[in-house]
Structure 1
Amino acid sequence: MPWKLSTEFTFDSAHTIVGYDGPCGRLHGHTYRVRLELQSGRLRPSAHVKRNIMVADYRTLKWAKKDVEAGGLDHAYLNDIAELGDDTTAEVIAQFIHCHTLQRVREALEAGDDGADLQLKVTVWETPDSACEYWE
């Protein structure tokens, strides 16, 4: 793929890993760092520019950075998010961000463009030295 778009952001959230025998089984929080890498075989327009000059709009990619009340993950109690429930490990959060980011990018595409060539890799750092990558 000739283009790879990368962006990073952070969000602060709390969670409990239900059933975990140790400190992570208690309520605690993290400043999560997220890196998104979106590859495409072609350039497209966006909601803000109608020429084929973007892989995707950074605004669309950074949805998770928004406050929980605005549909993001910042300052959320992750266990309250129905799709995550009690499974709030970095692995599950990375998959969740992957799914919702691709969905948002595809929803922003023009009619007739299914985004089949788009490939996304999500990296989530739960601590400065512990990360998980997810891609399909």
Structure 2
Amino acid sequence: MPWKLQTEFTFDSAHIITGYDGPCGRLHGHTYRVRLELTSERLRPSAHVQRDIMVADFKTLKWAKKDVAQGGLDHAYLNEHPDLGDDTTAEVIAAYLHRETLRRVRESLSPGDGGEDLRLKVSLWETPDSCCEYWE
């Protein structure tokens, strides 16, 4: 893979880990830090430039940073999110970020480009020293 695009951002959200016997079973919040690493064998256009000069647009990758009212995860109560529900562990959130980010990137591609060469790795920190990574 000749290109690797990396970006990091944070978002603040609250959750409860349902059924957890301890403090995480009560309502609490995190400033989540996310690192996305997207690799590609080739460059593509984006919604903002029609030449083959990007792996993907950073705007597309940072969708989760947006406020929950704008379709992101910032200031969300994660247990009310339809794709997460009561399962709001770092592992489940990282897998969701992976799935949704790849869907959005592939949706932004030119017709006929399925983005089969794209590979994404998601790193999600709940605290400064606790991280989960997810990739396929």
Tell me if both proteins adopt one fold, taking TM over 0.5 as the criterion: yes
Letter in 1 for 2:60: T
Cα distance in 2 for partners of 1:87, 1:114 equals 30
For structure 2, the residue ranges without an aligned partner over 5 or more in a row are none
Indicate yes or no: 2:34 matched with 1:34. yes
Write out per-residue CA displacement over residues 63-82 of structure 1, whole angstroms, 9 at most, x where no aligned residue: 00000000000000000001
Residue of structure 1 in register with 2:122 after alignment: 122
How big is each residue's C-alpha offset from its partner over 1:64-121, in whole Å with a ceiling of 9 and x where there is no partner?
A: 0000000000000000001101000000000000000000000000001000000000
TM-score, normalisation: structure 2: 1.00
For the residues of structure 1 that align with 2:13 and 2:112, how far apart are their CA atoms? 37
Task: Work out the number of aligned pairs and report it.
Answer: 136
Query: Which residue of 2 is the match for residue 18 of structure 1?
Result: 18
**Segments ≥4 residues shifted beyond 6 Å:** none
**CA apart distance, 1:13:** 0.2
Name the counterpart of 2:2.
2
Counting aligned pairs with the same residue, the percent is 78
| Cα root mean square deviation, aligned | 0.3
Q: Alignment partner of 1:4: what SS?
A: strand
Aligned counterpart, 1:59: 59
Q: Which runs of 5+ in 1 are unaligned?
A: none
**What TM-score comes out, normalization by structure 1 length?**
1.00
